């Protein structure tokens, strides 16, 4: 994900979710062969996200549910200016166990409940690298499926359970109109074009690449698919890549 390629979408908060079906069926684009509608599993249902509390500049991360000193501090805003978010694993006493963004992928930690605001998330994203398919769900129902481009053999897309950290409007045609940062970072690049090597889901100016393994690790989708996803994805949306 290129840090210089995106323009922060002001006042992002939690994106107001609308059905992606409307974007596809009500005079929407023809995505025949690239996107289909379906009903399915309950990925993302009942998920919760912890957002940095208002007025907090840094959030301490602890190694356990009680006691001890913080092992690190994380900023309350991402590098794109988005309010920091963390996927909730559990809540015990005065602390919240969360998934953490950044390297190494898969880190977890505990935060003071007073430093974050916990909310529910109704959406989920599943990406199958083998079939090169993305599936988006809302309230336990699959609302769209689409072909994707994935990382090349040299720069593979990392696998794991991640979540959306940024919902952004793009001002670079290479990324289409929408880009969604996730909590995964490249495991083969330490930086990329001025950015930190964060993985994202985004549009493209090369639709012929969809279905191929050609990216530096990000997930590419057709621009119309990215627009439909913008009505589904919110901060904290879980993203399973396998």
User: Among all residues, which ones are annotated catalytic?
Assistant: 202, 218
Q: What span, in angstroms and rounded, lies between the C-alpha atoms of 144 and 50?
A: 26
Question: Would you say 36 and 145 are in contact if contact means Cβ atoms under 8 Å apart?
Answer: yes
Q: What span, in angstroms and rounded, lies between the C-alpha atoms of 149 and 136?
A: 16
Burial class (CB in 10 A: 0-12, 13-18, 19+), 51: buried
Of 29, 27, 22, residue with least CA distance to 177: 29
State phi, psi for 158 to the nearest 5 degrees: -65, 145
State phi, psi for 3 to the nearest 5 degrees: -65, -35
């Amino acid at each position: 994900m290129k840090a210089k390629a995106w323009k922060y979408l002001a006042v992002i908060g939690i994106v107001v979710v609308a059905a992606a079906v409307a974007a596809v069926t009500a005079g929407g684009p023809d995505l025949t062969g690239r996107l289909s509608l379906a009903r399915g599993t309950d990925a993302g249902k009942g998920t919760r996200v912890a957002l940095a509390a208002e007025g907090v500049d840094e959030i301490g991360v602890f190694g356990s549910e009680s006691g001890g000193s913080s092992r690190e501090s994380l900023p309350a805003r991402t590098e794109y200016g988005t309010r920091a978010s963390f996927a909730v694993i559990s809540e015990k006493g005065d602390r919240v166990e969360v998934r953490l963004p950044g390297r190494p992928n898969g880190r977890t930690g505990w935060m003071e409940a007073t430093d974050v605001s916990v909310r529910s998330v109704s959406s989920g994203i599943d990406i199958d690298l083998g079939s090169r398919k993305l599936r988006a769900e809302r309230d336990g129902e699959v609302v769209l499926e689409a072909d994707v481009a994935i990382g090349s053999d040299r720069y593979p897309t990392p696998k794991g359970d991640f979540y959306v950290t940024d919902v952004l409007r793009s001002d670079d045609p290479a990324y289409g109109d929408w880009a969604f940062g996730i909590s995964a970072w490249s495991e083969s690049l330490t930086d990329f074009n001025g950015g930190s090597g964060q993985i994202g889901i985004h549009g493209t100016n090369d639709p012929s690449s969809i279905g191929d393994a050609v990216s530096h690790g990000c997930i590419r989708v057709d621009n119309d698919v990215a627009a439909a996803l913008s009505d589904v994805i919110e901060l904290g949306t879980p993203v399973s890549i396998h």
